[in-house]
Amino acid sequence: MKRVMALVGAFLLVSAVQCDDMPFWNEKVECAQSMGISPDQMTSMLTSNDAQMNCVHACVLEKIGGMVDGKLSLDSLMESLEKLKAEVKDYDATKAGIHQCFDQASGDRCESAGKFAMCMQEHMQG
């Protein structure tokens, strides 16, 4: 189920939760550590629109193939979603969210990843 939530979970900014409940937690920790951010610091940054956290999101997106050459890749995001279609709880809402949020994500690598993450969080909670 962790991989199922890749498209949503990797982008969601959620409050402090158990590591097992955080999709792609290992990737987030790995990315944060490569940037000199401790797991504890990262946990406290998850609910903020922090510039460093935006770069963590960009790193995770790159690891899962959703960001290529510093740009979000709609085709790659949709390919990943299709592969996980049978396991995604709300496939249609996730697909719509990806399209909507992709269109709203602009800026540099980190800024666009942060905007995408915030948008996906709002879309999936609303």
Look at the block and give the residue holding tokens 């399209």.
99
Domain range for residue 59? 25-34+50-125
Backbone angles phi, psi at 72, to 5 degrees: -60, 145
Confidence at residue 109, expressed as pLDDT on a 0 to 100 scale:
95
CA 68, distance to chain mean position in Å, is: 14
Q: What are 78-92's pLDDT values in tens digits?
A: 998 888 788 777 889
Residue 89 counted as domain residue: yes
With a cut of 80, say whether residue 29 has pLDDT above it.
Answer: yes
- The CB density around residue 120, as the number of other CB atoms within 10 Å, is 26
Residue 40 counted as domain residue: no
- pTM, to two decimals: 0.74
Q: What are 96-121's pLDDT values in tens digits?
A: 999 999 988 888 999 999 999 889 88
Q: How many domains does the chain have?
A: 1
